[in-house]
Amino acid sequence: MNLIEKLPSGLLTVRGWGFVLTAVVALLFAQVLGRRDLLYVGILLLALPLASVVVLRLVKPRFTVGRRFQPQTMEIGSTTTVTLSLTASVAGGASIAMEEQLPARFGQAPRFSYPSRRPTRDGVSLYEYRIRSTSRGVYEIGPVTAEFTDPFGLGRSRHVLGTADPLVVTPAPVELLVSALAGSRGNDGMAATRRQANPSDDDVMTREYRYGDSLRRVHWAATARHSELMVRQEESVTTPQATLLLDQRHHSFSTGLSAVFGGDAAADSALFTSPTFEWAVTAAMSISAHLLERSYALRFLDQQGAPALLHSPSAAFPAEEEHHGQGAVEGIAEGLAALELAPEAGHRTQGHVEHSGSTAVRAGEAARSAVRRVRRGASEVPPKTPHARTPHAAFGDDLLDRLAANRHRGPLIAVLGLITTEDARALASASDYGSPAYAILATDRPAESQPQLAILRDAGWHATAASPSAKLPVVWAGLEHAVGRTSAHASPAAAATSSGRSSRAPVPGGRG
Protein backbone atom coordinates (compact mmCIF):
# COMPACT_ATOMS: atom_id res chain seq x y z
CA MET A 1 0.00 0.00 0.00
CA ASN A 2 2.86 2.38 0.75
CA LEU A 3 4.31 1.70 -2.70
CA ILE A 4 1.01 2.57 -4.37
CA GLU A 5 0.70 5.84 -2.43
CA LYS A 6 4.16 6.91 -3.62
CA LEU A 7 3.19 6.57 -7.29
CA PRO A 8 2.22 9.75 -9.25
CA SER A 9 -1.36 10.78 -8.48
CA GLY A 10 -1.93 13.23 -11.32
CA LEU A 11 -3.64 10.71 -13.62
CA LEU A 12 -4.74 7.79 -11.46
CA THR A 13 -6.05 7.42 -7.96
CA VAL A 14 -4.68 4.92 -5.46
CA ARG A 15 -7.35 2.48 -6.64
CA GLY A 16 -6.38 3.06 -10.26
CA TRP A 17 -2.71 2.33 -9.58
CA GLY A 18 -3.79 -0.77 -7.69
CA PHE A 19 -5.61 -1.96 -10.80
CA VAL A 20 -2.49 -1.31 -12.91
CA LEU A 21 -0.17 -3.20 -10.58
CA THR A 22 -2.62 -6.08 -10.30
CA ALA A 23 -2.87 -6.21 -14.08
CA VAL A 24 0.91 -6.36 -14.43
CA VAL A 25 1.09 -9.22 -11.93
CA ALA A 26 -1.72 -11.09 -13.72
CA LEU A 27 0.00 -10.70 -17.09
CA LEU A 28 3.28 -12.00 -15.69
CA PHE A 29 1.63 -15.03 -14.16
CA ALA A 30 -0.29 -15.63 -17.41
CA GLN A 31 3.01 -15.67 -19.28
CA VAL A 32 4.74 -17.95 -16.79
CA LEU A 33 1.88 -20.33 -16.12
CA GLY A 34 0.38 -20.21 -19.60
CA ARG A 35 -3.08 -19.38 -18.21
CA ARG A 36 -5.32 -17.62 -20.73
CA ASP A 37 -7.89 -16.61 -18.08
CA LEU A 38 -5.19 -14.65 -16.22
CA LEU A 39 -4.35 -12.97 -19.51
CA TYR A 40 -7.98 -11.81 -19.90
CA VAL A 41 -8.10 -10.58 -16.32
CA GLY A 42 -4.82 -8.66 -16.73
CA ILE A 43 -5.99 -6.98 -19.94
CA LEU A 44 -9.31 -6.00 -18.33
CA LEU A 45 -7.67 -4.60 -15.22
CA LEU A 46 -5.25 -2.58 -17.37
CA ALA A 47 -7.90 -1.32 -19.77
CA LEU A 48 -10.21 0.10 -17.11
CA PRO A 49 -7.80 2.75 -15.73
CA LEU A 50 -6.67 3.69 -19.24
CA ALA A 51 -10.26 4.09 -20.39
CA SER A 52 -11.00 6.26 -17.34
CA VAL A 53 -8.08 8.58 -18.14
CA VAL A 54 -9.14 8.91 -21.78
CA VAL A 55 -12.76 9.66 -20.89
CA LEU A 56 -11.78 12.30 -18.30
CA ARG A 57 -9.53 14.01 -20.85
CA LEU A 58 -12.18 14.07 -23.56
CA VAL A 59 -15.11 15.18 -21.41
CA LYS A 60 -14.65 18.83 -20.44
CA PRO A 61 -16.65 20.05 -17.43
CA ARG A 62 -18.76 23.14 -17.90
CA PHE A 63 -19.36 25.24 -14.81
CA THR A 64 -20.53 28.79 -14.22
CA VAL A 65 -18.51 30.40 -11.44
CA GLY A 66 -19.50 33.60 -9.66
CA ARG A 67 -17.65 35.38 -6.86
CA ARG A 68 -18.83 38.28 -4.70
CA PHE A 69 -17.02 40.20 -1.94
CA GLN A 70 -18.83 41.74 0.99
CA PRO A 71 -17.60 44.42 1.39
CA GLN A 72 -16.28 44.92 -2.13
CA THR A 73 -13.06 46.48 -0.81
CA MET A 74 -11.57 45.74 2.57
CA GLU A 75 -9.33 47.69 4.90
CA ILE A 76 -6.12 46.38 6.39
CA GLY A 77 -6.89 44.31 9.47
CA SER A 78 -10.56 43.81 8.58
CA THR A 79 -12.25 40.81 7.01
CA THR A 80 -14.34 40.34 3.92
CA THR A 81 -16.82 37.57 3.19
CA VAL A 82 -16.38 35.82 -0.15
CA THR A 83 -19.51 34.20 -1.59
CA LEU A 84 -18.76 31.63 -4.27
CA SER A 85 -21.51 30.28 -6.54
CA LEU A 86 -21.09 27.22 -8.77
CA THR A 87 -23.50 25.88 -11.34
CA ALA A 88 -22.93 22.89 -13.60
CA SER A 89 -24.38 23.01 -17.11
CA VAL A 90 -25.11 19.27 -16.87
CA ALA A 91 -26.42 17.99 -13.58
CA GLY A 92 -24.63 15.00 -12.14
CA GLY A 93 -24.74 13.04 -8.95
CA ALA A 94 -21.01 12.48 -8.46
CA SER A 95 -19.24 14.47 -5.74
CA ILE A 96 -16.43 16.72 -7.00
CA ALA A 97 -13.61 17.98 -4.80
CA MET A 98 -12.85 21.67 -5.36
CA GLU A 99 -10.38 24.20 -4.03
CA GLU A 100 -10.35 28.00 -4.23
CA GLN A 101 -6.95 29.38 -5.18
CA LEU A 102 -5.75 32.15 -2.84
CA PRO A 103 -2.49 34.08 -2.45
CA ALA A 104 -0.26 32.53 0.19
CA ARG A 105 -0.72 35.46 2.57
CA PHE A 106 -4.39 34.55 3.09
CA GLY A 107 -3.51 31.18 4.57
CA GLN A 108 -4.82 27.78 3.62
CA ALA A 109 -7.03 27.66 0.56
CA PRO A 110 -10.67 26.71 1.28
CA ARG A 111 -11.73 23.29 0.05
CA PHE A 112 -15.26 22.07 -0.56
CA SER A 113 -17.22 19.52 -2.55
CA TYR A 114 -19.76 19.99 -5.32
CA PRO A 115 -22.72 19.92 -5.11
CA SER A 116 -23.22 21.59 -1.76
CA ARG A 117 -25.42 20.06 0.91
CA ARG A 118 -28.20 22.58 0.35
CA PRO A 119 -28.19 23.86 -3.24
CA THR A 120 -30.73 26.46 -4.30
CA ARG A 121 -33.82 25.69 -6.33
CA ASP A 122 -31.93 26.69 -9.48
CA GLY A 123 -29.25 24.12 -8.77
CA VAL A 124 -26.68 26.72 -7.64
CA SER A 125 -24.24 25.63 -4.95
CA LEU A 126 -23.23 28.48 -2.64
CA TYR A 127 -20.14 28.58 -0.44
CA GLU A 128 -18.87 31.26 1.95
CA TYR A 129 -15.52 31.88 3.55
CA ARG A 130 -13.75 34.85 5.13
CA ILE A 131 -10.31 36.24 4.45
CA ARG A 132 -8.24 38.87 6.21
CA SER A 133 -5.20 40.83 5.07
CA THR A 134 -2.56 42.74 7.02
CA SER A 135 -1.14 44.46 3.92
CA ARG A 136 -2.66 46.68 1.27
CA GLY A 137 -2.65 45.77 -2.40
CA VAL A 138 -4.73 44.22 -5.18
CA TYR A 139 -4.89 40.44 -4.87
CA GLU A 140 -6.15 37.79 -7.28
CA ILE A 141 -8.82 35.62 -5.64
CA GLY A 142 -9.42 32.42 -7.58
CA PRO A 143 -9.80 30.60 -9.87
CA VAL A 144 -11.37 27.36 -8.63
CA THR A 145 -9.56 24.09 -9.31
CA ALA A 146 -11.69 20.97 -9.42
CA GLU A 147 -10.63 17.34 -9.24
CA PHE A 148 -12.84 15.00 -11.24
CA THR A 149 -12.89 11.21 -11.01
CA ASP A 150 -14.67 8.54 -13.06
CA PRO A 151 -17.58 6.54 -11.61
CA PHE A 152 -15.19 3.71 -10.65
CA GLY A 153 -12.77 6.08 -8.89
CA LEU A 154 -9.81 5.00 -11.00
CA GLY A 155 -8.82 8.08 -12.99
CA ARG A 156 -8.26 11.65 -11.89
CA SER A 157 -8.37 14.92 -13.80
CA ARG A 158 -7.85 18.49 -12.63
CA HIS A 159 -9.54 21.45 -14.31
CA VAL A 160 -9.52 25.19 -13.71
CA LEU A 161 -13.01 26.66 -13.43
CA GLY A 162 -13.74 30.32 -14.01
CA THR A 163 -11.27 33.18 -13.64
CA ALA A 164 -9.75 35.14 -10.79
CA ASP A 165 -11.34 38.29 -9.38
CA PRO A 166 -9.38 41.22 -7.92
CA LEU A 167 -9.76 42.07 -4.25
CA VAL A 168 -8.66 45.59 -3.29
CA VAL A 169 -7.20 45.95 0.21
CA THR A 170 -6.99 49.59 1.23
CA PRO A 171 -5.00 51.24 4.03
CA ALA A 172 -7.00 51.69 7.23
CA PRO A 173 -7.29 55.31 8.42
CA VAL A 174 -6.37 56.13 11.99
CA GLU A 175 -8.66 58.43 13.92
CA LEU A 176 -6.95 61.77 14.51
CA LEU A 177 -7.72 64.35 17.16
CA VAL A 178 -9.49 67.54 16.16
CA SER A 179 -6.66 70.04 16.00
CA ALA A 180 -6.19 73.68 15.12
CA LEU A 181 -5.68 72.92 11.43
CA ALA A 182 -8.91 74.70 10.61
CA GLY A 183 -7.75 77.96 12.23
CA SER A 184 -10.77 80.22 12.46
CA ARG A 185 -13.05 77.56 10.98
CA GLY A 186 -15.44 75.59 13.08
CA ASN A 187 -15.31 71.90 13.80
CA ASP A 188 -17.37 71.26 10.68
CA GLY A 189 -14.70 72.94 8.54
CA MET A 190 -16.97 75.77 7.37
CA ALA A 191 -16.07 79.45 7.46
CA ALA A 192 -18.43 82.41 7.34
CA THR A 193 -17.55 85.37 5.09
CA ARG A 194 -18.57 89.00 5.06
CA ARG A 195 -20.17 88.64 1.65
CA GLN A 196 -23.93 88.49 1.57
CA ALA A 197 -25.83 85.67 0.00
CA ASN A 198 -28.43 87.97 -1.64
CA PRO A 199 -26.97 91.48 -1.98
CA SER A 200 -29.12 94.42 -3.09
CA ASP A 201 -28.54 98.08 -3.81
CA ASP A 202 -31.20 99.28 -1.37
CA ASP A 203 -30.07 97.49 1.75
CA VAL A 204 -26.86 95.48 1.80
CA MET A 205 -27.02 94.66 5.53
CA THR A 206 -30.61 93.64 6.23
CA ARG A 207 -33.72 92.27 4.59
CA GLU A 208 -37.39 91.97 5.54
CA TYR A 209 -38.43 89.35 8.03
CA ARG A 210 -39.58 86.03 6.55
CA TYR A 211 -41.54 83.31 8.21
CA GLY A 212 -39.14 80.90 9.90
CA ASP A 213 -36.33 83.41 10.54
CA SER A 214 -34.89 83.33 14.03
CA LEU A 215 -35.86 86.29 16.21
CA ARG A 216 -32.25 86.49 17.37
CA ARG A 217 -31.35 87.76 13.89
CA VAL A 218 -33.74 90.74 14.10
CA HIS A 219 -31.92 94.02 13.35
CA TRP A 220 -33.79 96.53 15.60
CA ALA A 221 -32.22 99.69 14.21
CA ALA A 222 -33.21 98.76 10.66
CA THR A 223 -36.66 97.73 11.93
CA ALA A 224 -37.21 101.21 13.44
CA ARG A 225 -35.95 102.88 10.28
CA HIS A 226 -38.13 100.90 7.89
CA SER A 227 -41.13 100.58 10.21
CA GLU A 228 -41.20 96.84 9.55
CA LEU A 229 -39.43 93.85 11.03
CA MET A 230 -35.96 93.47 9.49
CA VAL A 231 -33.35 90.76 10.01
CA ARG A 232 -29.63 90.60 9.38
CA GLN A 233 -28.65 89.37 5.94
CA GLU A 234 -27.58 85.73 5.71
CA GLU A 235 -23.88 85.15 5.72
CA SER A 236 -22.44 82.97 2.98
CA VAL A 237 -20.40 79.92 3.79
CA THR A 238 -17.25 78.98 1.93
CA THR A 239 -16.09 75.43 1.40
CA PRO A 240 -12.76 74.95 3.19
CA GLN A 241 -9.82 73.76 1.16
CA ALA A 242 -6.65 71.86 2.01
CA THR A 243 -3.66 70.54 0.09
CA LEU A 244 -1.92 67.26 0.90
CA LEU A 245 1.50 66.33 -0.50
CA LEU A 246 2.77 62.75 -0.46
CA ASP A 247 6.42 62.08 -1.26
CA GLN A 248 6.65 58.92 -3.40
CA ARG A 249 10.37 58.76 -4.26
CA HIS A 250 12.04 55.52 -3.35
CA HIS A 251 15.26 57.11 -2.09
CA SER A 252 13.24 59.03 0.52
CA PHE A 253 12.09 55.72 1.99
CA SER A 254 15.04 53.54 1.00
CA THR A 255 15.65 51.93 4.40
CA GLY A 256 14.24 48.43 4.35
CA LEU A 257 13.16 48.87 0.74
CA SER A 258 11.93 45.68 -0.90
CA ALA A 259 9.04 44.09 -2.69
CA VAL A 260 7.35 43.05 0.51
CA PHE A 261 3.92 41.86 -0.48
CA GLY A 262 4.40 38.29 -1.52
CA GLY A 263 6.84 35.96 -3.20
CA ASP A 264 5.31 35.50 -6.64
CA ALA A 265 4.62 38.93 -8.03
CA ALA A 266 2.05 37.80 -10.55
CA ALA A 267 0.05 35.76 -8.05
CA ASP A 268 0.47 37.71 -4.83
CA SER A 269 0.56 41.29 -6.10
CA ALA A 270 3.90 42.32 -4.58
CA LEU A 271 4.34 46.05 -4.09
CA PHE A 272 7.55 48.06 -4.26
CA THR A 273 7.46 49.64 -0.82
CA SER A 274 9.07 49.81 2.61
CA PRO A 275 7.80 49.92 6.22
CA THR A 276 8.47 53.66 6.36
CA PHE A 277 6.46 54.28 3.19
CA GLU A 278 3.64 52.17 4.59
CA TRP A 279 3.56 54.47 7.62
CA ALA A 280 3.46 57.47 5.27
CA VAL A 281 0.60 55.95 3.26
CA THR A 282 -1.36 55.35 6.46
CA ALA A 283 -0.71 58.95 7.49
CA ALA A 284 -1.91 60.25 4.11
CA MET A 285 -5.02 58.08 4.32
CA SER A 286 -5.78 59.21 7.87
CA ILE A 287 -5.26 62.89 7.13
CA SER A 288 -7.39 62.65 3.99
CA ALA A 289 -10.24 61.03 5.90
CA HIS A 290 -9.86 63.55 8.73
CA LEU A 291 -10.24 66.50 6.36
CA LEU A 292 -12.84 65.09 3.98
CA GLU A 293 -15.12 64.09 6.84
CA ARG A 294 -15.02 67.75 7.90
CA SER A 295 -16.24 68.97 4.50
CA TYR A 296 -12.86 70.02 3.15
CA ALA A 297 -12.13 70.05 -0.55
CA LEU A 298 -8.81 68.22 -0.69
CA ARG A 299 -6.11 68.60 -3.32
CA PHE A 300 -3.89 65.51 -3.28
CA LEU A 301 -0.51 65.98 -5.00
CA ASP A 302 2.84 64.25 -5.20
CA GLN A 303 6.28 65.82 -4.83
CA GLN A 304 6.22 67.09 -8.43
CA GLY A 305 2.79 68.74 -8.27
CA ALA A 306 1.08 65.94 -10.23
CA PRO A 307 -2.03 64.14 -8.92
CA ALA A 308 -0.82 61.84 -6.16
CA LEU A 309 -2.76 58.84 -7.47
CA LEU A 310 -1.78 59.30 -11.12
CA HIS A 311 0.44 56.21 -11.19
CA SER A 312 -1.62 53.96 -8.95
CA PRO A 313 -3.01 50.92 -10.80
CA SER A 314 -5.90 50.68 -8.34
CA ALA A 315 -7.14 54.28 -8.68
CA ALA A 316 -10.55 54.62 -10.32
CA PHE A 317 -9.80 58.13 -11.62
CA PRO A 318 -6.02 58.55 -11.36
CA ALA A 319 -5.84 61.95 -13.07
CA GLU A 320 -8.02 63.67 -10.48
CA GLU A 321 -6.24 65.85 -7.94
CA GLU A 322 -9.27 67.38 -6.21
CA HIS A 323 -11.37 65.20 -3.95
CA HIS A 324 -14.54 66.27 -2.18
CA GLY A 325 -18.06 65.17 -1.49
CA GLN A 326 -19.47 61.72 -0.95
CA GLY A 327 -17.25 58.85 -1.91
CA ALA A 328 -14.05 60.89 -1.78
CA VAL A 329 -12.63 58.94 1.17
CA GLU A 330 -13.34 55.63 -0.57
CA GLY A 331 -11.79 56.92 -3.79
CA ILE A 332 -8.54 57.93 -2.10
CA ALA A 333 -8.41 54.68 -0.13
CA GLU A 334 -8.84 52.66 -3.30
CA GLY A 335 -6.15 54.68 -5.06
CA LEU A 336 -3.69 54.21 -2.19
CA ALA A 337 -4.27 50.44 -2.19
CA ALA A 338 -1.65 49.74 -4.89
CA LEU A 339 0.43 52.93 -4.75
CA GLU A 340 4.15 52.16 -4.93
CA LEU A 341 7.43 53.96 -4.53
CA ALA A 342 8.77 55.54 -7.71
CA PRO A 343 12.43 55.05 -8.65
CA GLU A 344 13.97 58.12 -10.25
CA ALA A 345 16.99 58.56 -12.48
CA GLY A 346 20.15 59.21 -10.50
CA HIS A 347 18.71 57.74 -7.30
CA ARG A 348 18.48 54.06 -8.20
CA THR A 349 20.03 51.82 -5.59
CA GLN A 350 21.93 48.66 -6.38
CA GLY A 351 21.38 44.95 -5.87
CA HIS A 352 18.11 43.80 -4.41
CA VAL A 353 16.40 47.17 -4.86
CA GLU A 354 16.76 47.04 -8.65
CA HIS A 355 15.59 43.44 -8.69
CA SER A 356 12.63 44.32 -6.49
CA GLY A 357 11.83 47.24 -8.77
CA SER A 358 11.45 44.95 -11.80
CA THR A 359 9.35 42.60 -9.68
CA ALA A 360 7.13 45.48 -8.63
CA VAL A 361 6.64 46.54 -12.25
CA ARG A 362 5.33 43.09 -13.12
CA ALA A 363 3.15 43.14 -10.02
CA GLY A 364 1.78 46.56 -10.91
CA GLU A 365 0.87 45.35 -14.38
CA ALA A 366 -0.92 42.34 -12.92
CA ALA A 367 -2.82 44.55 -10.48
CA ARG A 368 -3.73 47.02 -13.21
CA SER A 369 -5.09 44.27 -15.47
CA ALA A 370 -7.13 42.84 -12.61
CA VAL A 371 -8.72 46.16 -11.73
CA ARG A 372 -9.54 46.92 -15.36
CA ARG A 373 -11.62 43.79 -15.58
CA VAL A 374 -14.02 45.15 -12.96
CA ARG A 375 -13.96 48.71 -14.29
CA ARG A 376 -14.61 48.30 -17.99
CA GLY A 377 -16.19 51.71 -18.16
CA ALA A 378 -13.62 53.57 -16.04
CA SER A 379 -10.94 55.81 -17.42
CA GLU A 380 -7.62 54.19 -18.32
CA VAL A 381 -4.39 54.97 -16.52
CA PRO A 382 -2.13 56.84 -18.97
CA PRO A 383 1.28 55.32 -18.13
CA LYS A 384 2.07 51.73 -19.01
CA THR A 385 4.11 51.09 -15.89
CA PRO A 386 3.50 52.28 -12.34
CA HIS A 387 7.00 53.77 -12.12
CA ALA A 388 6.96 56.04 -15.17
CA ARG A 389 7.73 59.61 -14.10
CA THR A 390 8.17 62.90 -15.83
CA PRO A 391 11.58 64.51 -15.53
CA HIS A 392 10.30 67.46 -13.49
CA ALA A 393 12.23 68.14 -10.29
CA ALA A 394 10.73 67.35 -6.92
CA PHE A 395 9.43 70.40 -4.99
CA GLY A 396 10.21 72.51 -8.05
CA ASP A 397 8.38 75.23 -9.96
CA ASP A 398 5.61 72.88 -11.10
CA LEU A 399 4.60 72.16 -7.54
CA LEU A 400 4.94 75.78 -6.40
CA ASP A 401 2.76 76.96 -9.28
CA ARG A 402 0.06 74.50 -8.26
CA LEU A 403 0.24 75.68 -4.66
CA ALA A 404 0.19 79.34 -5.63
CA ALA A 405 -3.17 78.86 -7.36
CA ASN A 406 -4.81 78.16 -3.97
CA ARG A 407 -2.68 80.40 -1.82
CA HIS A 408 -3.91 80.87 1.75
CA ARG A 409 -7.13 78.95 1.08
CA GLY A 410 -6.44 76.33 3.71
CA PRO A 411 -3.77 74.25 5.37
CA LEU A 412 -0.90 72.69 3.45
CA ILE A 413 0.18 69.30 4.77
CA ALA A 414 3.22 67.40 3.47
CA VAL A 415 3.93 63.76 4.29
CA LEU A 416 7.57 63.23 3.36
CA GLY A 417 10.39 60.75 3.74
CA LEU A 418 13.97 61.53 4.69
CA ILE A 419 14.48 64.52 2.42
CA THR A 420 17.81 66.15 1.66
CA THR A 421 18.78 69.68 2.69
CA GLU A 422 18.33 70.73 -0.97
CA ASP A 423 14.79 69.35 -0.88
CA ALA A 424 14.13 71.19 2.37
CA ARG A 425 15.34 74.50 0.89
CA ALA A 426 13.21 73.98 -2.22
CA LEU A 427 10.16 73.20 -0.11
CA ALA A 428 10.75 75.96 2.45
CA SER A 429 9.15 78.72 0.37
CA ALA A 430 5.97 76.67 -0.03
CA SER A 431 4.99 77.56 3.53
CA ASP A 432 3.76 80.91 2.20
CA TYR A 433 1.01 79.10 0.26
CA GLY A 434 -0.59 77.33 3.23
CA SER A 435 -2.46 78.72 6.18
CA PRO A 436 -0.71 77.15 7.96
CA ALA A 437 1.83 74.63 6.59
CA TYR A 438 2.60 71.29 8.21
CA ALA A 439 5.23 68.66 7.40
CA ILE A 440 5.76 65.13 8.71
CA LEU A 441 9.05 63.41 7.87
CA ALA A 442 8.74 59.63 8.08
CA THR A 443 12.15 58.07 8.63
CA ASP A 444 13.72 55.20 10.53
CA ARG A 445 16.23 57.61 12.12
CA PRO A 446 14.46 60.87 13.02
CA ALA A 447 17.65 62.30 14.52
CA GLU A 448 19.22 62.47 11.06
CA SER A 449 16.47 64.80 9.84
CA GLN A 450 17.21 67.63 12.30
CA PRO A 451 18.97 69.86 9.72
CA GLN A 452 16.03 69.53 7.35
CA LEU A 453 13.56 70.20 10.14
CA ALA A 454 15.46 73.35 11.10
CA ILE A 455 15.24 74.67 7.53
CA LEU A 456 11.52 74.01 7.32
CA ARG A 457 10.77 75.44 10.74
CA ASP A 458 12.77 78.58 10.08
CA ALA A 459 10.65 79.07 6.95
CA GLY A 460 7.43 78.86 8.94
CA TRP A 461 6.58 75.17 8.62
CA HIS A 462 5.19 73.19 11.54
CA ALA A 463 7.56 70.28 10.96
CA THR A 464 8.33 67.10 12.84
CA ALA A 465 9.95 63.73 12.19
CA ALA A 466 8.55 60.34 13.14
CA SER A 467 9.65 56.74 12.88
CA PRO A 468 7.35 53.92 11.70
CA SER A 469 6.93 52.88 15.34
CA ALA A 470 5.52 56.29 16.33
CA LYS A 471 1.81 56.63 17.00
CA LEU A 472 0.25 58.75 14.28
CA PRO A 473 -2.37 60.45 16.54
CA VAL A 474 0.44 61.58 18.89
CA VAL A 475 2.51 62.92 15.99
CA TRP A 476 -0.53 64.70 14.61
CA ALA A 477 -1.38 66.27 17.96
CA GLY A 478 2.16 67.63 18.33
CA LEU A 479 2.30 69.24 14.89
CA GLU A 480 0.73 72.53 15.97
CA HIS A 481 3.69 73.40 18.19
CA ALA A 482 6.44 71.96 15.95
CA VAL A 483 7.53 75.35 14.59
CA GLY A 484 10.81 77.22 14.96
CA ARG A 485 9.64 80.80 14.71
CA THR A 486 6.39 82.70 15.21
CA SER A 487 4.22 82.11 12.16
CA ALA A 488 1.73 84.61 10.87
CA HIS A 489 -0.88 81.87 10.94
CA ALA A 490 0.01 80.25 14.24
CA SER A 491 -2.13 80.72 17.30
CA PRO A 492 -0.81 82.92 20.15
CA ALA A 493 -0.39 79.87 22.37
CA ALA A 494 1.64 78.11 19.69
CA ALA A 495 3.77 81.21 19.15
CA ALA A 496 4.49 81.51 22.85
CA THR A 497 5.45 77.86 23.02
CA SER A 498 7.73 77.97 19.99
CA SER A 499 9.48 81.18 21.00
CA GLY A 500 10.51 79.69 24.32
CA ARG A 501 12.47 76.75 22.93
CA SER A 502 14.98 75.87 20.27
CA SER A 503 13.86 75.02 16.74
CA ARG A 504 15.53 71.64 17.18
CA ALA A 505 13.75 70.69 20.36
CA PRO A 506 12.09 67.28 20.33
CA VAL A 507 8.44 67.27 19.34
CA PRO A 508 6.11 65.24 21.59
CA GLY A 509 5.33 61.99 19.84
CA GLY A 510 7.43 62.85 16.80
CA ARG A 511 10.91 61.73 17.94
CA GLY A 512 12.45 64.62 16.16
For 416-473, give the secondary structure using H, E and C: ECCCCHHHHHHHHHHHHHCCCEEEEEECCCHHHHHHHHHHHHHCCCEEEEECCCCCHH
Compute φ and ψ for 489, nearest 5 degrees.
-110, 0
Would the pLDDT of 275 be above 50?
yes
**Least confident window among 249-258, 291-300, 493-502:** 493-502
* Cα 357 off chain centre by: 19
Banded pLDDT at 180 (limits 50, 70, 90): low
Tens digit of pLDDT for each residue in 475-512? 999 988 777 644 433 333 333 333 333 333 333 334 33
Answer with the residue of higher pLDDT: 388 or 290: 290
Is the confidence at residue 389, as pLDDT, over 90? no
Greatest mean pLDDT among 165-179, 230-244, 389-403 lies in 165-179
How many other CB atoms are found less than 10 A from the CB of residue 41? 17
pLDDT band at 93 (very low <50, low <70, confident <90, very high): low
Q: Which residue has better confidence, 180 or 320?
A: 320
Least confident of 149-153, 304-308, 445-449: 149-153
CA distance 261 to 177: 31
Residues 6 or more apart in contact with residue 375 via CB below 8 angstroms? 316
Task: Output 194 or 24, whichever has higher pLDDT.
Answer: 24
pLDDT in tens, 338-380: 999 987 544 433 333 343 444 444 444 544 454 444 444 334 4
State pLDDT tens for residues 66-83: 999 999 999 999 999 999
* 3-state helix vs strand vs coil in the chain, percent to 5: 35, 25, 45
* 58: confidence class by pLDDT, cuts 50, 70, 90: confident
Roughly how many angstroms between the first and final C-alpha of the chain, as a whole number?
A: 68
The average confidence (pLDDT) of the chain is 78
Work out whether strand 125-132 and strand 79-88 pair parallel, antiparallel, or are unpaired.
Answer: antiparallel
Q: How many residues are there in the chain?
A: 512
On the question of pLDDT at 9 being above 70, the answer is: no
Higher pLDDT, 7 or 454: 454
| Nearest-angstrom CA–CA distance, 463 and 245 | 14
Contact status, residue 17 vs residue 46, Cβ threshold 8 Å: no
